[in-house]
Structure 1
Amino acid sequence: MGDLSALHAQATRLVLALREGMERLEAIEGGMRTGDASTLARDLQHKLSELQRTSRELDSTWRMQVVRQGGGRVDVWKRKVESVAEEAEFMATSLDRFGGREALRRREAAERDELLSSAAVGRRLKGEMDEEAAVAGHVVRSRRALADMFEQGSGILAGMAGSRERIKAAQRKVLDVMNSVGLGDSVLRAIERRHKADAYIAAGGMILALAFTGGLLWWAWR
């Protein structure tokens, strides 16, 4: 019975260690104690493997004793062997349940992180879209302002052209009057030169205004 006693003592120590470890694991899982539940679970799984191996050796040794000695004392060991096997099965079930809960917690944490990441990406994309919309609105307003400036400039140039025609008509009337009263050719030529100079100035102003307005439109629409 020596081998049976040694194996049973080893199994008993493992059962006690597993019970204590499971209590600590449940306390950590429930938030009543601090610690690394995953590390503790791996240690308990290692002890459970030792207990299962010892339980198999204990059962095999007990069966050989039955063959050699028959009933009596062997029946007492039968109950002890079965008790160790039941403890090993119970601990295995408890650790499996903990592993399932741990996997569920990890999956929920991963899903939560994914949702938070998706929300952050959505906020970033919305910010970029709002920024692009603001830039597009600024460009539209700038183009509208330049178009208004171009329209105003065109109106001013048209007004200048009308004024020029009225001035020319008035000058022709003055020339007719001067011819009728007999003014000299030198006076007429001086008036004509002044008229040409005014025409050049007006034309230059129109060209500069058109070039400036065209440059602004090109800068806004490029």
Structure 2
Amino acid sequence: MEAVGGGGTLSEVYQSAKKFLLRTRDGVERLERLQYSTSGGSDSDISFSVKKDINQIQSQCAEMDRLWRSIAAKSQRDLWKRKVEQVAEEAGSLRESLDKYFLRNQKRMQEAKERADLLGRANGDNAHVLRIFDEEAQAMLSVGNSARELASSTALGEAILSSLSGNRERLKSAQRKALDVLNTVGLSNSVLRLIERRNRVDQWIKYLGILLTVIIVLIIVWWRR
């Protein structure tokens, strides 16, 4: 059972709010088309009507928020809560669009006033005004070209630094390999010298053994005589 308020049932207020949403959305779209059209035209009546409709929708949302809270069934209460929140969010979005429209319109009017002031200071000398705009455009073009050249130079410098860094890493790697080879050669030379020294010692031992054997044999022969 839907709750009933002073403005009607919850369903009636909801349907009324939906109708206001459709009309408000159409009004905002008309304002945006009128703002960007070249034909111009008065938009004050439309903007006033749109603002009034948004206020009406938000008032209805407050009424619906009061009504759905009095529904007994939790499932129905949750359903209506989501519906009311959706309407409130769309109304908020439309108000934001209307505020942006007013800001753009205010900015456009300010720019038109500044252009009129500039033309007034130039005493109607349109050529002078156009020359100012042309100089600004040329300056912006020059700044853009300089920025592109700077970006190109920066990219070239980064590429050169990257190449130098890669070469440095390769040189370091080659240096480490060379040191490894030298260390290996030095170790091999030490091993060879150790082997030669051992061979010489073995030869001396062999010669001493032969000499001792001969002496022992001579002693035994002499002793037996």
Give the TM-score normalised by the residue count of structure 2.
0.49
Task: Identify which of structures 1 and 2 has the higher relative contact order when contacts are C-alpha pairs closer than 8 Å and 6+ apart.
Answer: 1
The structure with more radius of gyration: 1
Give the TM-score normalised by the residue count of structure 1.
0.50
